[in-house]
Amino acid sequence: MKEAWFSEWRHVFKLDPDKPISDEALDALCMSGTDAILIGGSSGVTFENTVDLMSRVRRYEVDCALEVSTLDGAVPGFDGYFVPLVLNTDRAEWIIGKQIEGLKEYGTFVPWEETAAQGYIILNEDATAAQVTGANAALDEEGLIAYVRMADRLMRLPVIYLEYSGRFGDMPLLASARRAVRNARLFYGGGIDSADKARQAAEHAHTIVVGNVIYTDLAAALSTVEAVRGGGRQEF
Ligand SMILES: CC(C)=CCC/C(C)=C/CC/C(C)=C/CC/C(C)=C/CC/C(C)=C/CC/C(C)=C/CC/C(C)=C/COP(=O)(O)OP(=O)(O)O
Ligand SMILES: O=P(O)(O)OC[C@@H](O)CO
Ligand SMILES: [Mg+2]
C-alpha cells in the first residue's frame, strides 16, 4: 500500500493563524528540523489569516499542512489537508455535519491524495476544542480503547488524534491507545512544553504536536525537536 504523505512525521509544530508570530520565530521553527508545520486553531481562523500564515511558511522547504477547522479557512496551496472529525461528542455537527457542509462547498476542489481525516478524541475538558464541540472528555481506559478501535478498525481513519490541547496528558492512557492502534497513525498533542515531555509522548505516539509553547517560550518549543530526534530516527 502507498505510504501516506504524513507517515514519516515524528514531530510537528502547530501554528495558530489567529496568533501573531514574528519572522524570526517563524524562521527558527521552520528551520528547526521539525517534520512539518501544521496550521490550525479552534477559534478565530479565517481565510485571510490562514493565507497570510501559509504564504510565510511557504518560503521554507518544510512540509506545510492545514487542519481545516472552519469553512472560511479552506485555503488552496498547502502540501496536505487534514479534516478533523471529533469522535467523542454527541453533537453530530462536529462528527460529520460541518464536514458535509465543507464537501458541498469545496468537494470538487479537494486534492484527495493529499487529504486525510483525523479522528479526534479530546481528553481535556478545558480545551477550546472540547468546549466548542461539547466533547465528553471523561473517558476511562476502556472507553478510550473503544473509541480507538472504532476509529482504527471500523472507520479505518488514517489518523487518530489524542488531544489534550493546553494540558499535558495521561501517558499511561496514551500508551494504552497506542497498543490498541493497528493501522492508523497516532497523533498526540497537548501541553508539550519541554524536551522531557516531548520524549515521554514520543515514546508512545507516532507523531507529537507542539502548539501553545511556541507563543510563550520559543526556546522550550525548539528543544522538543531534538528530544524526538535524539538517539537517531526510530522505526515507528
Ligand atoms: C479549496 C480547497 C483546496 C480545499 C481543501 C480543503 C479541504 C480538504 C476541504 C474539505 C472540506 C471540508 C470537509 C471542510 C471541513 C470543514 C469543517 C468546519 C470541519 C470541522 C472541523 C472540526 C471538527 C472542528 C472542531 C474544532 C477542532 C477539533 C479543531 C482542530 C484543531 C485544533 C483542536 C486546534 C487547537 O486549537 P487551539 O485554538 O490551539 O486551542 P486551545 O485554545 O486549546 O489552545
Ligand atoms: O497547544 P498544545 O497544548 O501544545 O497542544 C497542541 C495541539 O494538540 C493543539 O491542537
Ligand atoms: Mg492552542
pLDDT band of 232, cuts 50, 70, 90: very low
Determine if ligand 1 sits within 6 Å of the CB of residue 76.
yes
Cα(231) to centroid(ligand 1), Å: 34
* Of 5-9, 40-44, 138-142, 150-154, the least confident: 40-44
- Residue 144 makes CB contacts below 8 A (sequence gap 6+) with 121, 123, 173, 176, 177
Cα(166) to centroid(ligand 3), Å: 7
Would you say 97 and 85 are in contact if contact means Cβ atoms under 8 Å apart? no
The pLDDT of residue 104 = 98
Q: Tens digits of per-residue pLDDT, 1-25?
A: 678 999 999 999 999 999 999 999 9
Burial of 18 (0-12, 13-18, 19+ CB in 10 A): middle
Residue 15 C-alpha cell reads as 501554528
> Is the alpha carbon torsion for 99, 183, 4, 228 positive or negative?
positive
Write out the chain in H/E/C secondary structure. Answer: CCCCCCCCCCEEEEECCCCCCCHHHHHHHHCCCCCEEEECCCCCCCHHHHHHHHHHHCCCCCEEEEECCCCCCCCCCCCEEEEEEECCECCHHHHHHHHHHHHHHHHHHCCHHHEEEEEEEECCCCCHHHHHHCECCCCCHHHHHHHHHHHHHHCCCCEEEEECCCCCCCHHHHHHHHHHCCCCEEEEECCCCCHHHHHHHHCCCCEEEECCHHHHCHHHHHHHHHHHHCCCCCCC
Cα(1) to centroid(ligand 3), Å: 34
- Ligand 2 atom, smallest distance to 163 CA: 8
Determine if ligand 1 sits within 6 Å of the CB of residue 166.
yes
Residue 40 lies in a domain: yes
Residue 4 lies in a domain: no
Question: What percent of the chain has pLDDT above 90?
Answer: 94
pLDDT higher than threshold 90 for residue 43: no
* Of 41-50, 52-61, 147-156, 223-232, the least confident: 223-232
Residue 6 lies in a domain: no
pLDDT band of 236, cuts 50, 70, 90: low
* Residue 98 belongs to domain with CATH number: 3.20.20.390
Cα(177) to centroid(ligand 3), Å: 23
Q: What are phi and psi of 36, to 5 degrees?
A: -165, 155
Residue 235 lies in a domain: no
Say how many domains are in the chain.
Answer: 1
C-alpha–C-alpha distance, residues 23 and 39, integer Å = 16
**Has 2 been labeled as part of a binding site?**
no
Residue 3 lies in a domain: no
54, 91, 165, best to mutate for ligand 1 pocket (most atoms within 8 Å of CB): 165
Residue 37 domain boundaries: 11-229
- Residue 91 makes CB contacts below 8 A (sequence gap 6+) with 133, 134
Q: Does pTM top 0.95 for this prediction?
A: yes
Residues with Cβ–ion distance below 5 A, ligand 3: 211-212
pLDDT band of 83, cuts 50, 70, 90: very high
